[in-house]
Amino acid sequence: MNVFWLLPIIIAVAGALLIGLLGRFARRESQGWNLTYAIIANICFLAMLGLIIAFGNALPVKSEDLILVLGTKTYEKGIYTIFRLDQLTWWFILIFTILGSVTAIYSIRYMDHDDRLDRYYLLLLLLVAGMIGVVMAGDLLTLFIFWEGMSIASYILVSFRKDEPEPVEAGVKYLFMSAFGSVMLLFGMSLLYGVTGTLNIAEIGTTLFTKLATNGISGVHVIIIISLIIGFGVKAAIVPLHTWLPDAHPAAPSGISAMLSGVVIMTGMFAMINTLTTFFRPSLLLLPNLCAVGYVLLWVSILTMVIGNLMALRQTDIKRLLAFSTVLNVGFILFGLSMTLTNINSDVVTLGVQGSYFHVLTHALGKGLAFLCAGAILYRFHDRELDKLEGIGHKMPVTTFAFTIALLSLAGVPPLPGFWSKLNIVVAAVSSGNVQYYVGVALFLLSSVTSVVYYLIVLQRLWFKPAGEHLKDVKETPIEIIIPLMVIVILMIVIGVIPNTFQNLAKQAATALGL
């Protein structure tokens, strides 16, 4: 086994252990120790990002070309640990490490008023290690272990400011809903093992194809599909499993809000689509009834868009508005990915998945930047109500400018990256030749236009309203916070100007899904 490919996970875990050990030796909280934890975490994230960028071109397109096995295949009924790395997993790991790196840099100054920062950076590293492990897992046992590691880290980070009632309440709600999802996931995995006799994801797909081709669809297969959708769907925040999200995002530190919205929910989306596609897509040509799964996901995506938009329109809390905007974008991404489980032309499906994977990147950057900007505003003025923030753009022009770029990209304004990713999804839907997707694309566009309304209302209130007397002492964000904001702004502008490069990377990821 080439352990080199596992270095991103090893670096993250090693950094977390080092910070944990130093935290045990530190007698008391001090600026020096806190800076040490931050430096270690940032070195780990930058090293991970450098590795991911460096070996991206050396990876195979499809996962079966590179299988890393820990242990042996001699265990009864194929229980062994596999890690996979290909263009699909690389794409997601790249997004995780980009946002993780920026969040770690941002947190140096943003978290300087908090204590227990050894635990904060330790958990942030473990969160990213868990997400990387989920997308690299080639068997269900490995996937579940990393899934739970990611989940536990995210629960604690949501309620990190445990002295305040809101984070604790949000963390407990998130914990209970995610625990329900994990139980459903474990139930579905146990059924898969009972049906196929293996936990290897690729082997499950092959075995299920043979069984479905011979015996057709049975009730147990339907239960497996439902269990996987619910189990992964809680973390992915699809409607109606999204209710933890609008509480958790505002309550968490803004860097963690960026991670939750930008990449944690996308890990759930990856796991749901990757498993369903691997297990059931090969049987679609033989069993047209299986296409119903794709069309169910299509209408779930539409419901997610509509509910996300309607709830966002009602919000006066800036972070809750961004949280419901995340639900909207989950709908956009699921819309394109739902095509994988339909009988639509494979080239159109590839384009739809390409658009969705590209939107995972553009949303991670846009929503991550939006939450980081909201956190920068809260750093200077401790209130999330839009009524109180009117005119703050005059006091914090650089931060508000970055916030403007983020919201315009999320709205799909050209030539920002959010426009290009949505365009891919729309073109795929229009090219599908399917009436349900024609209806879906109309609602997709209506939802996107509706989101423009509340994004512009927010910007109008921040920029064009006079600053009230209560903002007289507010000043621009510290340079240590501005730097990571500007890094994302520059990256978004680059992607918007040369989208083809990133669209091609997203296409390679879509191809690696085995469409």
Over residues 336-391, the pLDDT tens digits come to 999 998 888 888 989 999 999 999 999 999 999 999 999 999 888 888 888 888 88
- Please name the residue that has the structure tokens 């209806």: 439
Per-residue tokens: 182: 């994990």
Residues whose CB is less than 8 angstroms from the CB of residue 449 and which lie 6 or more positions away in sequence, other chains included: none
Nearest to 381 by CA among 485, 470, 486, 257: 470
Please name which of 181, 172, 126, 176 lies closest in space to residue 149, comparing C-alpha atoms. 126
User: Is the bond into 167 cis (omega within 30 degrees of 0)?
Assistant: no
pLDDT > 70: what percent of the chain?
Answer: 93
pLDDT at residue 76, as a whole number:
43
Q: Which has the closest alpha carbon to 265: 340, 367, 342, 185?
A: 367
Question: Quick one: 87 exposed, middle or buried, by C-beta within 10 A (0-12, 13-18, 19+)?
Answer: buried
Tell me which of 201-210, 320-329, 412-421 is least confident: 201-210
88 near 63, Cβ under 8 Å?
yes
Q: Which two tokens stand for residue 295?
A: 């069309």
Task: Give the tokens for residue 116.
Answer: 């227990």
- Pick the range with the lowest mean pLDDT from 70-79, 123-132, 218-227, 269-278: 70-79
User: Where is pLDDT greater, at 85 or 145?
Assistant: 145
Whether the per-residue pLDDT at 65 is higher than 50: the answer is: no
CA distance 343 to 283: 11
Q: Which two tokens stand for residue 322?
A: 């961004």
| Averaged pLDDT, 141-147 | 92
Q: Is the pLDDT of residue 448 over 80?
A: yes
Match 């399917």 to its residue by tokens. 434
**Above 80 in pLDDT, residue 419?**
yes
| pLDDT above 80: residue 31 | no
Question: Which of 125-129, 204-208, 260-264, 506-510 has the highest mean predicted lDDT (pLDDT)?
Answer: 125-129
CA 321 to chain centre: 18
What's the rounded Cα separation, in Å, for the pair 491 and 235? Answer: 27
Q: What is the pLDDT of residue 55?
A: 77
- The closest of 143, 41, 69, 133 to 96, measured between CA atoms, is 133
Question: What is residue 57's predicted lDDT score, i.e. its pLDDT?
Answer: 66
Sign for the CA dihedral angle at 186, 204, 68, 357 comes to: negative
Q: Can you give the pLDDT at residue 68?
A: 59
d(CA 95, CA 77): 35
Q: How would residue 69 be classed by pLDDT, with cut points 50, 70 and 90?
A: low
Q: Is the pLDDT confidence value at 323 over 70? A: yes
The CA distance from 262 to 362, in Å, is: 9
Instruction: Please classify residue 56 by burial: count the beta carbons closer than 10 Å to its beta carbon, then call 0-12 exposed, 13-18 middle and 19+ buried.
Output: middle
Q: How would residue 72 be classed by pLDDT, with cut points 50, 70 and 90?
A: very low
Tell me the two tokens of residue 457: 């209302």
For the segment 464-491, the average pLDDT, to the nearest whole number, is 87
Count of C-beta atoms within a 10 Å radius of residue 413: 16
Residue 421 has pLDDT above 60, yes or no: yes
Distance separating alpha carbons of residues 236 and 400, to the nearest angstrom: 29
Q: Flag the least confident range among 98-102, 274-278, 382-386, 418-422.
A: 382-386
Q: Are 174 and 244 in contact (CB under 8 A)?
A: yes
**In the prediction, which pLDDT does 346 show?**
83
Instruction: Out of 52-61, 239-248, 309-318, 390-399, pick the least confident.
Output: 52-61
User: 63 pLDDT exceeds 70?
Assistant: no
**Torsion angle of C-alpha atoms 431, 362, 278, 82, degrees rounded to 10:** 160
pLDDT band at 488 (very low <50, low <70, confident <90, very high): very high
Q: What is the mean pLDDT of the chain?
A: 87
Please compute Rg for the chain using Cα positions.
22
The label of the residue with tokens 């790196």 reads 101
Q: Which of 47-56, 119-128, 238-247 has the lowest mean pLDDT?
A: 47-56
Residues in CB range of 448: below 8 A, 6 or more apart:
332, 411, 412, 422
Predicted confidence band of residue 77 (pLDDT cuts 50, 70, 90): very low
| Rounded percentage of the chain residues whose pLDDT exceeds 90 | 49
**Pair 462, 451: CB distance under 8 Å:** no
At residue 27, the pLDDT reads 59
12: amino acid identity, one letter = A
Q: Is the pLDDT of residue 124 over 80?
A: yes
Query: How does 110-120 read in b/e, with b if 16+ C-beta sit within 10 Å?
Result: bbeeeebbbbb
CB 291, CB 252: distance < 8 Å? no
Whether residue 261 contacts residue 237, with contact meaning beta carbons closer than 8 Å, is answered with: no
Tokens of 124: 């942030």
